Chain A
Amino acid sequence: GAGVSQSPSNKVTEKGKDVELRCDPISGHTALYWYRQSLGQGLEFLIYFQGNSAPDKSGLPSDRFSAERTGGSVSTLTIQRTQQEDSAVYLCASSPSAQRAGELFFGEGSRLTVL
């Protein structure tokens, strides 16, 4: 498809397990973002990739969270030793360039439930 694709759409896991969430951005978009949205809340910034620059990891809530972006395209967000407070919708977005940083194209998110 032409939009941002995320998988899985839903993930239920047990506390303490590791999870990986995948994001396929729009082809040609150089910027990629991960946000987290808890129920009824706004979006919390997690991490930002721009081209070949070092990622901005300032939003990651703990060292259990990490993300990588391979080949400037697909990104994976990994949460190790999941906790119940990690339950949220994890949204990925891409943007054509840093100069258009406000126009983010979001995927539909990966809903994570930690039991």
Chain B
Amino acid sequence: GESVGLHLPTLSVQEGDNSIINCAYSNSASDYFIWYKQESGKGPQFIIDIRSNMDKRQGQRVTVLLNKTVKHLSLQIAATQPGDSAVYFCAENRDTGRRALTFGSGTRLQVQP
């Protein structure tokens, strides 16, 4: 069925290293993808988005890559910091007239000092 999912439930990295969080989607009709960060006890926070007509988009210390051939999305965080520790969700929005995001189950990023 249609789904947005993640490869790794927990990712542990050393401070200063780069982090890569992966996400797979199964609906080829998906045309818009978003990454959210959720810190403990808080609501998710928008990080970066990408449309299906793009392969790569960069923000501040973050890069999102989209591979439509294998329906794969990734979030790269450069020089990971302790403040990056959180759960990261990918989400998709299909332009079917319903503007509700479908979220994946999340990956927990743990940054070791």
The CA of A4 and the CA of B99, in the complex, are separated in Å by 19
Which secondary structure dominates chain B's binding surface?
A: loop
Residues of B with Cβ closer than 8 Å to A? 32, 34, 41-46, 49, 89, 91, 93, 98-106
Q: Do B89 and A42 touch (CB < 8 A)? A: yes
The CA of A31 and the CA of B43, in the complex, are separated in Å by 17
- A sample of 23 inter-chain contacts (CB < 8 A) reads A4-B43, A33-B100, A42-B89, A42-B105, A43-B44, A44-B103, A48-B100, A56-B98, A58-B100, A93-B43, A98-B99, A101-B32, A101-B93, A101-B99, A102-B49, A102-B93, A103-B34, A103-B49, A104-B44, A104-B46, A104-B101, A105-B46, A107-B43
- Interface size bucket, A side? 20 to 34
Residues of A with Cβ closer than 8 Å to B? 4, 31, 33, 35, 41-45, 48, 50, 56, 58-59, 91, 93, 98, 101-109
Q: Smallest distance from the beta carbon of B92 to chain A beta carbons, Å? A: 9
Residues on B with C-beta less than 8 A from A48 are 98-100
The CA of A106 and the CA of B101, in the complex, are separated in Å by 13
